[in-house]
Amino acid sequence: MAVSGCATWKEIGSLDLIDKTSDARNAAPVNSSAGNSSAVSSSAGNLSRISASKVLLDVEFVNIDLRNTKAKDRAAIWDWVDESAVDNRQRYQLFENGMRAGLVVDPQSFRSHLHSMTATKDVVDEFLASASIASDIQGGGQQIAMRMGRRYELPLREPIEGSHVTLVRVDDQVVGRTLHEPQFLFTLQASELTPDSRMRLRLRPEIQHGQMRQQFVGGGSNSGLRIDQRRESWSLPSLDLDWLLGKDELIVITADQYPTSKDDGSVHQDDSCLATQMFTGKNADHRDEQLVLLIRVKQLPKSVPE
């Protein structure tokens, strides 16, 4: 991992390279099953009523059982992924923070291999998963209906209890912050529809932390002010992932170097690393899991409202 706990780091206030504030107050109001953050989801019964002017994404959270998989098998998922779909500079920035991303070119083989590394779930596991207490990290799947140009939030895990140091590498500098009950997520925004029926989708890592704060937010010229409760956020625009995607295309994002499992199944890796905090957690049996995030474009808007 490029970022280590012994690296020299600075408090965020000393650098202008990372956006300390975010446009979280403009995020779509949605329901969540993960802590205080807002996840975006649509039930199956409502999908038929989704407007043709909206983007529809299939999101899948795959949890790899680290104790029962080998490092070479975990690395093999990239055999079916085109990483050149990510800009070279951004690939380097992701690598420096322990992450990796790309466009899946053989979804069938990719999924078959990926799901061969997931833990077998019994009835109890399925119940815990449905109650969102099966693991620290997200599992299962959901569908996201998005309006063009609007920001949405996709939590990757439950908030981590207590105060924790998070290290982020930006332009060869390591920045560190101590955060209270951090929760890691991606913000999503679809911003463009090209003439050849492709959509530009931006994903940005963000960390929400601290206590809930009440603020008064302008709701538009006709609605006056409204009360909004949110936690502070640490937005990371230097790690933006900008995709130009067509219908049914599938992208994958996860840790670049999977945590090394000891004989007892525990993870041996710097807990302060951004990728470790975003993409690893423990299940209900206290065994380490790795999160692999999959996003597929299910529907592109037929037209973009003016």
Three-state SS string over the chain comes to CCCCCCCCCECHHHCCCCCCCCCHHHCCCCCCCCCCCCCCCCCHHHHHHCCCCCEEEEEEEEEEECCCCCHHHHHHHHHHEEHHHCCHHHHHHHHHCCEEEEEECCHHHHHHHHHCCECCCCHHHHHHHHCCCCECECCEEEEEEECCCCEEEEECECCCCCEEEEEEEECCEEEEEEEECCEEEEEEEEEEECCCCCEEEEEEEEEEEEEEEEEEEECCCCCCEEEEEEEEEEECHHHCEEEEECCCCEEEEEECCCCEECCCCCEECCCCEHHHHHHEEEECCCCEEEEEEEEEEEECCCCCCC
For position 38, what pLDDT does the model report?
A: 39
Tell me how far apart the alpha carbons of residues 143 and 80 are, in angstroms, rounded to a whole number.
24
For position 234, what pLDDT does the model report?
A: 95
User: Taking the model in full, what pTM does it have?
Assistant: 0.77
Listed as ranges, residues in the chain with pLDDT below 50 are 1-26, 29-45, 48, 123-124, 127-128, 131-133, 265, 267-268, 306
Q: 242 forms bridges with which residues in the sheet?
A: 202
Cβ–Cβ under 8 Å, residues 37 and 153: yes
In this structure, what token pair is assigned to residue 175?
A: 């920045």
Task: Provide the percentage of residues in the chain whose pLDDT is more than 70.
Answer: 66
Tell me how far apart the alpha carbons of residues 84 and 87 are, in angstroms, rounded to a whole number.
7
For position 136, what pLDDT does the model report?
A: 66
Could you report the per-residue pLDDT of 79-93, keeping only the tens digit for each? 999 999 999 999 999
Tell me how far apart the alpha carbons of residues 237 and 232 are, in angstroms, rounded to a whole number.
16
CA dihedral of residues 83, 85, 89, 94 (deg, nearest 10) = -50
For position 220, what pLDDT does the model report?
A: 57
For position 212, what pLDDT does the model report?
A: 77
Could you report the per-residue pLDDT of 111-166, keeping only the tens digit for each? 999 999 986 655 445 544 554 445 667 778 889 999 999 999 999 988 989 999 99
